[in-house]
Copies of this chain bind each other. A is one copy, B any other.
Amino acid sequence: MPRNGEDARRRLQQAALDLFLERGYEATTTAEIAARAGVTERTFFRHFPDKREALFHGEEAFRAALADAVLAAPADLGPMDALRLAFCSVEPVLVANRSFSEPRHALIARTPALQERVLTKTAGLVDGLAQALRRRGLAQPAAALAAQVGMAAFSHAIQAWADDPTSSLESHLGRAFDELRGLSGTRNATASAD
């Protein structure tokens, strides 16, 4: 897409987010988003299939970046370490996107129609991670389990990072993966006391 196309896309995304926050998601139309961005509605539909997708652009690229990072992790790392490294690798992307993703997060929290979309997005990320783990040689059901557990730790770290942005995502990820080990270790402790 030419440079001015990129620019229109960004303005449309920002206009969509601003209008959703000002007027509510349901009450905002694609025509209003296009008008706010200074383009035609036809241009809106060249970039996005509907108003909801204006909020989720970049999802495919993010999924691919995570999967590539899992594949690029040193071969001797276990699945959870490969996932942790992959999550650390997207920190710059997430930092660059913060001024958009933080208000979007607040919008999603009060818009059920968008919460379903986030669940679908998360499920897609988990699928992508599981596929990457399989390509590293992990068996099929174990790969899905590891991807889901890794995503739980990632979500946990993202939340902690939102609450405390003075620490890096990497350090929050380190703590989240430590907590995972703490959780799973609980039964070992109980079992050895049997």
What residues of chain A have their CB less than 8 Å away from a CB belonging to chain B? 76-81, 84, 115-116, 119-120, 123, 141-142, 144-146, 148-149, 152-153, 155-156, 159-160, 176-177, 179-181, 183-190
Chain B residue with minimal CB distance to A138?
Answer: B183
Report which of B77, B149, B160, B187 forms a contact with A152, defined as CB distance below 8 A: B149
Question: Hey, which chain B residues are within 8 Å of A116, CB to CB?
Answer: 116, 119-120
Q: 7 tightest CB-CB pairs across the interface, nearest first?
A: A78-B186, A148-B152, A119-B119, A184-B184, A181-B184, A145-B156, A81-B187
Copy total for this chain: 2
Report which of B80, B159, B190 forms a contact with A184, defined as CB distance below 8 A: B80
Report which of B80, B142, B159, B183 forms a contact with A187, defined as CB distance below 8 A: B80
Question: Hey, which chain B residues are within 8 Å of A146, CB to CB?
Answer: 183
Q: A144 CA to B183 CA in the complex, in Å?
A: 12
